[in-house]
């Protein structure tokens, strides 16, 4: 049964990415002057470190990054690299991160920051964006971090009941 759960979650990963993207677009329609990036997937990945081995977890991160790259950047590599790096970091520190709610909240904020900032820097280097850093911080990074903090506060209890 446990193996079936792992395979089922693995097959659903691309749909999780697409649902997360549509949630971002829906919420972005209510706030037209900011660019919200929902990283609900980080909450899922945070708790999934308990269930799977490190190698399978990195495969999860690779698949999520690949779908994210194809859907958002139309260029394979940016999100794939960032998800794998964040996944390796998260899996190595899961015993510390999963100690209590506050460390999980802090980990969610840090992951959101690192992913958004890393994606911005890679996109700037590749030429996918021309936004300056202050504009990116005010109109994208801070609102996205606030949104992901709200996701963490709302859904953390559900994930705790399921995983812990």
Report the C-alpha gap between 57 and 44 in whole angstroms: 11
- 15 within 8 A of 68, measured Cβ to Cβ: no
- Terminal CA-CA length for the chain: 18
Q: What is d(CA 59, CA 157) in angstroms, rounded to the nearest whole number?
A: 26
What is the predicted pLDDT for the residue at 8? 65
pTM of the model: 0.89
Question: Please, which pLDDT band fits residue 31 given cuts at 50, 70 and 90?
Answer: confident
Q: Looking at per-residue confidence, does 43 or 111 come out higher?
A: 111
Q: Is the pLDDT of residue 86 over 90?
A: yes
pLDDT tens, 91-141? 899 889 888 889 999 999 999 999 999 999 999 999 988 999 999 999 999
Instruction: Say which DSSP state 141 is in.
Output: I
The first and second tokens of residue 90, run together, are 């998260």
Within 10 angstroms of residue 21's Cβ, the number of other Cβ atoms is: 17
163 falls in which pLDDT band (50, 70, 90)? confident
Residues 76/66, Cβ–Cβ less than 8 Å:
yes
Spatial separation of the C-alpha atoms in residues 6 and 48, rounded to whole Å = 10
- The pLDDT confidence band at residue 3, using thresholds 50, 70 and 90, is low
């Amino acid at each position: 049964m446990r193996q079936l759960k792992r395979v089922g979650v693995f097959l659903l990963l691309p749909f999780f990415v697409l649902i997360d993207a549509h949630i971002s677009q829906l919420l972005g329609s209510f706030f037209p002057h900011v660019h919200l990036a929902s990283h609900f997937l980080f909450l899922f990945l945070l708790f999934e470190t308990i269930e799977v081995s490190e190698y399978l977890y990195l495969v999860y991160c690779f698949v999520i990054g690949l779908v994210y790259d194809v859907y958002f950047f139309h260029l394979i590599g940016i999100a794939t690299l960032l998800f794998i790096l964040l996944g390796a970091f998260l899996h190595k520190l899961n015993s510390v991160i999963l100690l209590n709610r506050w460390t999980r909240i802090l980990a969610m904020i840090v992951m959101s920051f690192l992913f958004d900032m890393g994606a911005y820097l890679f996109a700037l280097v590749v030429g996918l964006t021309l936004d300056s850093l202050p504009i990116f911080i005010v109109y994208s990074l801070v609102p996205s971090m606030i949104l992901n903090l709200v996701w963490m506060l709302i859904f953390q209890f559900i994930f705790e009941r399921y995983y812990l």
